[in-house]
Chains A and B, each alone.
Chain A
Amino acid sequence: MIRIEDLNLAHGGTPVLRDINLTIDRGGIIALVGPNGAGKSSLLSLIARLRPLQTGRIFIDGLPVTTTPGRELARRMAILRQDGVFAGRLTVRELVSLGRFPHNQGRSTPQDRARVEEALVQFGVADLAERFLETLSGGQRQRALVAMTFCQGTDYLLLDEPLNNLDMFHARHLMQSLRRMADEEARTAIIVLHDINQAAAYADRIIAMRDGRIASDGTPGEVLTVDTLAAVFGYRMQVTAAAGRPLVLHHL
């Protein structure tokens, strides 16, 4: 369980997050949606202790993020950032293997290697395993990063716009992998999504943010209504249904 209490964040005097209180139970896909600058990525960074807390508290399975050793947290929670820049010349397999670092500190066991191979296959980068990252396309690199994050094998995955750079096939594949992970292993994915219909189709819970506040929080059916969407995104859009899920015609 992730618990967030009275979270506030300001950047150079401008409030970025205001009075966030959230409880996220284990298991399921939680989508963070909202317009640019709503504070989604900042919230994710704070949960992942990439930025220091200003006020408020965050607990991962009861462990406060500020004082718990980094390695302990890295075994429970993995983060995939947007635009992860990598300076080094690593092969895809070497990168994905680093996902096991919190567990083995670099000394791979046979189980670690098995998980790496599994992740390589699962995200379709097994054929690229010996290639250097800098020789890959943006989408291939993104899949390698996703494979590394999965490979960390944590209960919680924080993903910041992971569908960036992915084509439709691989975007759908990633969302289905997350779904399976949530259903079969009761793991949790907290994921910032730009495409609201991906959230509609795969998420158990949608948290809509605007101006650093939580504007709406509930199941896709509860959040994806004409009025709520208008309050969050600033214009009215039609909502229909397809395959038993809401479908937002946001482009019309």
Chain B
Amino acid sequence: MTQSVPEPKKAEWRKRITLPRMAAAAALVVLVCLSLLIGADTLSPTQLANDPEALELLLASRLPRTLAALLTGSALAIAGLIMQALVRNRFVEPSTAGTAQSAALGILLMTLVFPAASLGVKMIGATALALLGTSVFMATADRLPVTQPHLVPLFGLVYGGVIGAVVTFVGWQTDLLQFIDIWTSGEFSGVVRGRYEFLWGAGIIVVLSWWIADRLTVLSLGREASIGLGLDYAWTLRLGLLVVSVIAALTVSVVGIIPFVGLVVPNIVSRVIGDNLRASIPCTALAGALLVLGCDIVGRLIRYPYEIPVATVMGVVGALLFLKLIRLRPSHA
């Protein structure tokens, strides 16, 4: 029965993936350059070479903003991917499962109770509430019938809305509505050097998630298959939950909620290369970074020199992509 083992079909695999990957890399370079140059004061490369002030603007504002968009985009896409593996449903992500709204509630409560605490401390509170909110969602999603896959995202959307209502209510009562706008409507215009560095934490988490990619792939096969393959199911589930919550807390407190990234990016990547997470995590991270940076640039250009928040742009782009995805979905799954 044993055949001579063919050299794993790497050549073919590489052929399939190289073209989109090259295109993505090229797009990344172009978008990063655009993002560095575009803004209320448009910089030109010659200016940068001669004008120290222009260089300072680049380093203090444009570069942090660009990096923040890239880090946020990849982290949100990965959080969506992990969430989909945890819930075993294609159509969930942190902002449609109450995670992001719970994180916003956490920040709000921390701001009320410990107004003097540093952003890092507040993030711990945000993470804790995000964990709690997501756990409630997952426990409920688990009890919904698997025969109706659209019930879970529907439930999550409304659940997120309910928590959002709590956030608004508390904000109203405590005169913190302006802050709530910052947390619930994501934008990068406030991102400068010294304000965004927490997002590197999200970047590190993205890399770590690649490290446990195989475990997550096994997890996405479901509880019984995972146990059969010797995965510590409960532990991995909790780890995934923690990763998603930390990403939500970091991004919500630094840039605010950006909807749909975690929903559409993993679905599109999965259509192209499948769900082996070892292969798809890097692609998903890259595509998420591209999407968010692209939307941020659009938001900067569309009403130049004013800015449209990235969350608004993404609300339109993401909702359109998502509608396309749920219509395209083959009926049997």
Note whether A and B contact each other (Cβ less than 8 A): yes
B residues near A126, Cβ cutoff 8 Å:
3
Chain B residue at minimum C-beta to C-beta distance from A104:
B214
Stretch at the interface among A69-77, A162-170, A185-193, A219-227: A69-77
Tell me which of A49, A69, A105 has the highest count of chain B C-beta atoms within 10 A of its own C-beta.
Answer: A105
1/0 contact string of A45-82 vs chain B (CB within 8 Å): 10011100000000000000000011111110011110
- Pairwise interchain contact A113-B230, C-beta atoms closer than 8 A: no
A90-B278 contact given A50-B228, A74-B229, CB 8 Å threshold: no
Stretch at the interface among B33-41, B57-65, B197-205, B216-224: B216-224
A85 sits at the interface (CB 8 A): yes
Q: Which of A73, A79, A134 contacts B333 (CB 8 A)?
A: A134
Q: How far is the CB of A203 from chain B (nearest CB, A)?
A: 22
Chain A residue at minimum C-beta to C-beta distance from B213:
A106
Chain A residue at minimum C-beta to C-beta distance from B272:
A89
A106-B214 contact given A85-B146, A87-B89, A134-B330, CB 8 Å threshold: yes
Number of interface residues of B (CB under 8 A): 40
A residues near B213, Cβ cutoff 8 Å:
106
Chain A residue at minimum C-beta to C-beta distance from B271:
A89
Q: Which of B2, B224, B231, B330 contacts A81 (CB 8 A)?
A: B224
Q: How far is the CB of B23 from chain A (nearest CB, A)?
A: 21
Stretch at the interface among B4-12, B171-179, B238-246: B4-12
- Pairwise interchain contact A117-B3, C-beta atoms closer than 8 A: yes
Number of interface residues of A (CB under 8 A): 43
Q: Which of A72, A73, A94 contacts B276 (CB 8 A)?
A: A94
A75 to B229, CA, bound (A): 8
A118 sits at the interface (CB 8 A): yes
Chain B residue at minimum C-beta to C-beta distance from A86:
B221
A residues near B223, Cβ cutoff 8 Å:
50
**210-269 of chain B: CB within 8 A of chain A:** 213-215, 217-218, 220-225, 227-233
A102 to B214, CA, bound (A): 11
A101 sits at the interface (CB 8 A): yes
A244 sits at the interface (CB 8 A): no
- Pairwise interchain contact A101-B229, C-beta atoms closer than 8 A: yes
- Pairwise interchain contact A132-B274, C-beta atoms closer than 8 A: yes
A residues near B49, Cβ cutoff 8 Å:
none
Q: Which of A84, A99, A101 contacts B231 (CB 8 A)?
A: A101
Q: How far is the CB of A66 from chain B (nearest CB, A)?
A: 13
A residues near B88, Cβ cutoff 8 Å:
87
B1 sits at the interface (CB 8 A): yes
B307 sits at the interface (CB 8 A): no
A20 to B228, CA, bound (A): 22
Q: Which of A101, A118, A132 contacts B230 (CB 8 A)?
A: A101
Q: Which of A73, A80, A99, A101 contacts B214 (CB 8 A)?
A: A101
- Pairwise interchain contact A70-B230, C-beta atoms closer than 8 A: yes
Chain B residue at minimum C-beta to C-beta distance from A87:
B88
A13 sits at the interface (CB 8 A): no
- Pairwise interchain contact A79-B224, C-beta atoms closer than 8 A: yes
A101 to B230, CA, bound (A): 8
A122 sits at the interface (CB 8 A): yes
Q: How far is the CB of B94 from chain A (nearest CB, A)?
A: 18
Chain B residue at minimum C-beta to C-beta distance from A70:
B230
Q: Which of A72, A88, A118 contacts B220 (CB 8 A)?
A: A88
A48 to B213, CA, bound (A): 25
- Pairwise interchain contact A91-B276, C-beta atoms closer than 8 A: yes
- Pairwise interchain contact A74-B230, C-beta atoms closer than 8 A: yes
- Pairwise interchain contact A50-B227, C-beta atoms closer than 8 A: yes
**111-163 of chain A: CB within 8 A of chain B:** 113-114, 117-118, 121-122, 126, 130, 132, 134, 152
1/0 contact string of B150-184 vs chain A (CB within 8 Å): 00000000000000000000000000000000000
B residues near A7, Cβ cutoff 8 Å:
none
Q: Which of A48, A79, A88 contacts B221 (CB 8 A)?
A: A88
Q: How far is the CB of A209 from chain B (nearest CB, A)?
A: 21
A152-B217 contact given A50-B224, A87-B90, A87-B333, CB 8 Å threshold: no
A residues near B231, Cβ cutoff 8 Å:
70-71, 74, 101
A118-B3 contact given A70-B232, A106-B278, CB 8 Å threshold: yes
B residues near A130, Cβ cutoff 8 Å:
9, 12
- Pairwise interchain contact B270-A89, C-beta atoms closer than 8 A: yes
A71 to B270, CA, bound (A): 28
Q: How far is the CB of A173 from chain B (nearest CB, A)?
A: 11
- Pairwise interchain contact B227-A70, C-beta atoms closer than 8 A: yes
Q: Which of B90, B224, B274 contacts A94 (CB 8 A)?
A: B274
A98 sits at the interface (CB 8 A): yes
Q: How far is the CB of A191 from chain B (nearest CB, A)?
A: 15
Q: How far is the CB of B231 from chain A (nearest CB, A)?
A: 6
- Pairwise interchain contact A86-B222, C-beta atoms closer than 8 A: yes
Q: Which of B1, B12, B215, B222 contacts A118 (CB 8 A)?
A: B1
- Pairwise interchain contact A106-B215, C-beta atoms closer than 8 A: yes
A48-B227 contact given A87-B220, A89-B270, A121-B1, CB 8 Å threshold: yes
Q: Which of A71, A78, A84, A105 contacts B222 (CB 8 A)?
A: A84
- Pairwise interchain contact A88-B217, C-beta atoms closer than 8 A: yes
A99 to B217, CA, bound (A): 12
Chosen A-B contacts, 10 in total, with CB atoms closer than 8 Å, are A72-B230, A74-B230, A79-B224, A81-B225, A85-B222, A89-B270, A89-B271, A94-B217, A121-B1, A121-B3
Listed from nearest, the 8 A-B pairs whose CB atoms lie closest are: A74-B230, A106-B214, A88-B275, A71-B230, A102-B230, A79-B228, A89-B275, A87-B88
